[in-house]
Chain A
Amino acid sequence: MNSLWRRLFRRPLAWGSLVVLVILYLAMSLCEFLAPYDPNHLFEGHSDLPPNLIWYSPQEGLGPQVQTVALVNGVTREYVRVRGEYTPVKFFVPTDPVKLWGVIPLPFHLFGTDYGRDPAGKAQPVFVMGTDNLGRDVFSRILYGSRISLTIGFVGVFISLGLALIFGGLAGYYGGIWDWIIMRLCEFIILIPGLYLILFLRSILSDHMDTGQSYMLITVILSFVGWPGTARMIRGMVHAVKRQDFVSNAQLESMPSLVILFRHIVPQMSSILILSVTLGVPGFILGETALSYLGLGIVDPAVSWGSMINRDATSVSNLLSFPWLFAPGIFLVIVTLAFNFLGELLRDWADPNWKETA
Chain B
Amino acid sequence: MNELLEVTNLTKSFQLHAGLFAQADQRVYALGGVDLTLRTGETYGLVGESGSGKTTLARTLVQLEAHERGTIRYLSSDGSAWEVRRGDRRNLERYRQEVRYVFQDPSSSLDPRMTVGDLLTIGARQRTRGKDRAGLVARAREGLDHVGLRASDWDRRPSEFSGGQRQRIALARALVTRPRLLICDEVVSALDVSVRGQILELLLDLKNRFGLSMVFIAHDLDVVAYMADRVGVLYGGRMMEEAPSRLLVEKPLHPYTKLLFDSAPGAGIRSRETSAQKLTPTRALTGCPFAPRCPLVIDRCRTEIPLPRAVGPQSGRLVACHRVEAE
Q: Which residues of A contact B (CB under 8 A)?
A: 244-246, 248-256, 259, 263-264, 267-268, 270, 350, 352-353
Chain B, 109-157, CB within 8 A of any chain A CB: 109-113, 122-124, 126-127, 157
The answer to whether A268 and B113 touch (CB under 8 A), given A252-B62, A254-B127, A256-B126, is yes
B113 touches A270 (CB 8 A): yes
C-alpha spacing A244/B158, complex, angstroms: 15
Q: Are B96 and A254 in contact (CB under 8 A)?
A: yes
**Min C-beta distance of B250 to chain A, whole Å:** 36
Q: Does A246 lie within 8 Å of B126, measured CB to CB?
A: no
Q: How far is the CA of A346 from the CA of B108 in the complex (A)?
A: 24
Taking a contact as CB atoms under 8 Å apart, the answer to whether B103 and A245 are in contact is yes
A246 touches B110 (CB 8 A): yes
How many angstroms from the CA of A244 to the CA of B113 in the assembled complex?
Answer: 14
Cβ 8 A contact of A254, one of B93, B109, B110: B93
Report B-chain residues with C-beta under 8 Å of the C-beta of A255: 122-123, 126
**Sample of 9 more A-B contacts, CB < 8 Å, known A245-B104, A252-B101, A352-B159:** A246-B108, A246-B109, A246-B110, A249-B101, A250-B123, A254-B92, A254-B97, A254-B123, A264-B111
* Segment 10-65 of B: residues with Cβ below 8 Å from A: 62, 64
CB distance from A179 to the nearest CB of B (A): 13
* Structural contact, A253 and B96, CB atoms closer than 8 A: yes
CB<8 Å pairs between A and B, sample of 28: A245-B104, A245-B105, A245-B109, A246-B109, A246-B111, A248-B109, A249-B103, A249-B109, A249-B110, A250-B123, A251-B64, A252-B64, A252-B100, A253-B96, A253-B126, A254-B92, A254-B93, A254-B97, A254-B126, A255-B122, A256-B126, A263-B122, A268-B111, A268-B113, A270-B113, A352-B112, A352-B157, A353-B159
Residues of B within 8 A of A353 (CB): 112, 159
Q: A265 — nearest CB in chain B belongs to which residue?
A: B111
Q: Least Cβ distance of A63 to chain B in Å?
A: 55
B residues less than 8 Å from A251 (CB atoms): 64
Q: What residue in chain B is nearest A268 (Cβ atoms)? A: B113
Return the chain B residue nearest A266 by Cβ: B113
Of the listed residues B100, B103, B112, B113, the one surrounded by the most CB atoms of chain A closer than 10 A to its CB is: B113
- When chains A and B are docked, how far (Å) is the Cα of A256 from the Cα of B62? 17
Distance to closest chain A CB from B163 (angstroms): 14
Per the CB 8 Å criterion, the residue count for chain B at the interface is 26
| Minimum Cβ distance to chain A for residue B4 (Å) | 18
B108 surroundings in chain A (CB, below 8 A):
244-246
Min CB distance, A299 to chain B, in Å? 46
Q: Inside 8 A of A249's CB, which chain B residues have their CB?
A: 101, 103, 109-110, 173
Residues of B within 8 A of A244 (CB): 108
Which residue of B is nearest A267, CB measured?
B113
Closest 10 CB pairs of A and B: A253-B123, A245-B109, A245-B108, A352-B112, A254-B93, A246-B111, A267-B113, A245-B103, A255-B126, A249-B109
- What is the bound-complex CA distance between A249 and B96, given in angstroms? 10
Chain A residues lying within 8 Å of B104, measured Cβ to Cβ, are 245
Q: Which residue of A lies closest to B102 (CB)?
A: A249
With known contacts A253-B96, A255-B122, A352-B112, A248–B64 Cβ distance under 8 A = yes
Give Cα A277–Cα B316 distance, bound, in whole angstroms: 64
Cβ–Cβ < 8 Å partners of A254 in chain B: 92-93, 96-97, 123, 126-127
**Distance in angstroms between the alpha carbons of A244 and B108 in the assembled complex:** 7
What separation, in Å, do the CA atoms of A244 and B109 have in the docked complex?
7
- Bound Cα distance A267, B122 (Å): 15
Give the docked Cα–Cα distance between A273 and B177 (Å).
34
Residues of chain A contacted by B177 (CB below 8 angstroms): 253
Question: A350 vs B159: C-alpha distance in the bound complex, in angstroms?
Answer: 13
Contact partner of B126 (CB less than 8 A), chosen from A245, A248, A259, is A259
Docked pose: A254 CA to B109 CA in angstroms: 15
- From A241, which residue of chain B is reached at the shortest CB distance? B111
The digit string for B78-102, where 1 denotes a CB below 8 A from any CB of A, is 0000000000000011001100110
* Complex-state Cα separation, A64 to B210, whole angstroms: 80
Could you tell me the distance in whole angstroms from the C-beta of A96 to the nearest C-beta in chain B? 53
The CA-CA distance from A129 to B308 in the complex, in Å, is 92
CB distance from B93 to the nearest CB of A (A): 4
Residue ID in chain B nearest A250 by CB atoms: B123
Closest to B124 in A: A253
Inter-chain CA distance A249–B177, complex, in Å, is 13
Chain A residues contacting B92 (CB-CB under 8 Å) are 254
